[in-house]
Structure 1
Amino acid sequence: MALVHDMAEAIVGDITPDDDICEQEKRELELEAMQTFCLSHFLGEQSHAAKEFLELWQEYEEDSTVEARLVKQVDKLEMALQAYVYERDQSANLDDFFASAKSKLHNEIFKDWLARVLKLREEVTRKGEKSNLE
């Protein structure tokens, strides 16, 4: 499911909070990308593999299962970790990414991991040096 979700993003591009694209438009772009991918790689949307990929993508998008909710939590935490590395290595300010992750993480374990990343971010920013988180 995580890979299927990432395939849509790979085709459309990783839409960020700065892109000013609403959720509905993002969803439509990714659905079109998945349908195109399935048509070109699985010989039509009616093939078993195409149906399975589209169902997994839909399950993720609808947040309809425990697995989908887990993958979404992992995806948001990964976004924050990636933002941390970009910010650290490129001296950028990616507050929007951290705020987005914080608002969308509901699982206590993931919230704790994000809090650790945010604490490390604060320490690194305060010291003006790079951390060992890679």
Structure 2
Amino acid sequence: MEMALVHDLGESIIGDAIYESGTETIASLDKKHEDERRAIQEIFKDIPGKEHYISLWEEWVAQKTPEATFLKRIEKLEMAMQALEYERLGHDSVLLNEFWENAWKYLKGTELEKYYHELQKQRNLLQRKK
């Protein structure tokens, strides 16, 4: 739970840098992490136990533990949910395809794949109504 709370804090300072579009890498992930690392260190500089929080963020970045990879998949599932909500609000579904493609890249073959498929079913129903 702590990792889930800490992992996006750097983006609160530097913004949500986009490094993927659909299934393609379009920018340097290393640069994004470098900028976020500086932001995380700034956020926690005066907090007792800062090393613990910074290490959680580093665990997230490394994506080598089951907790970190699961959190990444949850984040991608949430992105698909947000894309579906945008479509419900009338946004062009074609423009949102890259979000669906990127989520699928991380969710296929995982324990969350069935939830992705459920969101896709809702998307398909929505598109049939248009």
Identity of aligned residues (%): 33
CA distance in 2, matches of 1:122, 1:106: 18
- The answer (yes or no) to whether the contact 1:5–1:60 under 8 Å persists in 2 is yes
Equivalent pairs, count:
122
Match of 1:78 in 2: 78
Q: Do the aligned partners of residues 52 and 107 (structure 1) sit closer, same or farther apart at CA in structure 2, a change above 3 Å counting?
A: farther
| 1:39-82 CA-partner distances (Å, limit 9, x unpaired) | 2x52xxxx42x111110000011012111111111111111111
Give the direction of change, closer, same or farther, for the CA distance of 1:106–1:31 in structure 2 (3 Å limit). Answer: farther
Whole-angstrom CA distance in 2 between matches of 1:12 and 1:90: 29
Q: How does 1:1-134 map to 2 (within 5 A)?
A: 1-16=3-18, 17=20, 20-39=26-45, 41-42=46-47, 47-48=48-49, 50-92=50-92, 93-106=95-108, 108-128=110-130
Report the equivalent of 1:131: none
Where in structure 2 are there 5+ consecutive unaligned residues?
none
Superposition RMSD in Å = 2.0
> Structure 1 residues 2, 24: closer, same or farther in 2, change over 3 A?
same
- Kindly provide the CA deviation profile for residues 73-119 of structure 1, in whole angstroms up to 9, marking residues without a partner as x: 11111111112112321413211111011011255331110111112
Residue 51 of structure 1 aligns with an amino acid whose one-letter code is: E
In the aligned structure 1, how far is the partner of 2:116 from the partner of 2:67? 20
Q: Please list every run of 5 or more consecutive structure 1 residues that lacks an aligned counterpart in the other structure.
A: 129-134
Q: SS at 1:55's partner residue?
A: helix
Structure 2 SS opposite 1:7: coil
Which structure's relative contact order is higher, taking Cα pairs within 8 Å and 6+ residues apart? Answer: 2
More helix by share: 1
